[in-house]
Structure 1
């Protein structure tokens, strides 16, 4: 088996990036004039950080699995872990406050590592994990059902569209913000 890579699922990646943009993009234009240049400069830096965070990937090889980031951002985001297949001794389910379940990969020395559940081709990942470890993964599912990310992606897209329309109306002079009288 050559190394197989499992990046974050595209729907989840798109949703998190669009949520960042929808929430942060209007801030420079709503801020006082003296803060606008700083916020405009911070926008791409924040986007780069979010892009790096959603670039986490899982790599499976003959010897084990590794969770980490691509080289372009691994220097910044040093979190990650790797295990040889023979180190994996079990899975521990833990209920989340939202009603889902996450799973921790246990090792003989008592360490526990969060099993990635937001990867692309999740079923294929679980099949490979089960085959290499001998552990039953049939009860493992995604943390959240896809409809939750689809709904959030739709809401983010609607927010971005609304923000674009308001921005266009303001820039074209079709709409003027009322003066608050505050200085």
Structure 2
């Protein structure tokens, strides 16, 4: 297996960015005059932080797996992990409070790392992970069904559209 990179799934990435914009864009307009400049300045900084957070990627290579962020934001978001294939001993399922299941990659020394479940080409990722680690991944699915992100993305677009109409009407009128 040569190096394979899996970024966050585009639908999830789009939804999270849209949610940020839908919630934050109206704030500078609605804020008291003395706070508006600060909020307009903070808005792009927050967007850069959101873009950094959704840039997490998973890399599979002949030697192991690495979860982290690209160099442009890796210095800021130092979370991430890396394991060689021979360090991995198993997968542990854990139920979430929303009724889903996440999986932790277990290691020889007893550490546990959250297996990414929001990556693009998820089935290919699982297949390659299973092949390289020797672990059965047949019971692993996405953390949430795509329709949940599709619904949230549609709601965010509706919010953004209504905010643009509201701002346009109020700024012109």
TM-score by length of 1: 0.94
Question: For the aligned residues, what is the CA RMSD?
Answer: 0.4
TM-score by length of 2: 0.99
1:102-151 Cα shifts (integer Å, max 9, x gaps) = 00000011000000000000000000000011110000000000000000
Q: CA deviation at 1:159?
A: 0.1
- Alignment pair present for 1:55 and 2:55: yes
Number of the residue aligned with 1:166: 166
Q: CA deviation at 1:81?
A: 0.2
Number of the residue aligned with 2:140: 140
Number of the residue aligned with 2:20: 20
1:17-49 Cα shifts (integer Å, max 9, x gaps) = 000000000000111000000000000000000
Distance 2:41 2:60 in 1: 38
Moved over 4 A (4+): none
Q: CA deviation at 1:171?
A: 1.2
Structure 2: segments with no counterpart, 5+ residues: none
Distance 1:83 1:157 in 2: 39
* Count of matched residue pairs: 173
1:52-73 Cα shifts (integer Å, max 9, x gaps) = 0000000000000000000000
Q: CA deviation at 1:2?
A: 1.9
SS at match of 2:33: coil
Distance 2:165 2:2 in 1: 48
Structure 1: segments with no counterpart, 5+ residues: 174-183
Distance 2:141 2:25 in 1: 34
Where does 1:69-84 land on structure 2 (aligned, <5 Å)? 69-84=69-84
